[in-house]
Amino acid sequence: YTRMGKEKLKEFYLPALSGGGIPLKFCSLITDGTNAAVEYLISEWNGVKFPEQAGISFYEIGKGGKIRAARIYDDADPPF
């Protein structure tokens, strides 16, 4: 899925985060300054608890340290 622009991002994230968000337990971070990978555990989404699951996210880092792109992988089943 690709979302670009303020309105499209808002349309995607508002339902996912409207009930309180997604608390993550961060495990490890690997970066070379241009790319980063973050391991995490997830066990709650918008207040709904479920068995702990692993996930990983990858980021492209642009000028000034801003995130240019993100790819997030997990098996969490959102309750919406």
What pLDDT was estimated at residue 66?
93
Extended strands (E) in the chain: 24-31, 35-45, 48-61, 67-74
Residue 56, burial from CB neighbour count under 10 angstroms (0-12, 13-18, 19+): middle
* Predicted confidence (pLDDT) per residue in 8-58, tens digit: 888 888 887 887 778 999 999 999 999 999 999 999 888 888 888 999 999
Q: CB-based contacts of 58: which residues, under 8 Å, 6+ apart?
A: 35, 36, 37, 70, 71, 72
Reply yes or no on whether the pLDDT at 79 is more than 80: no
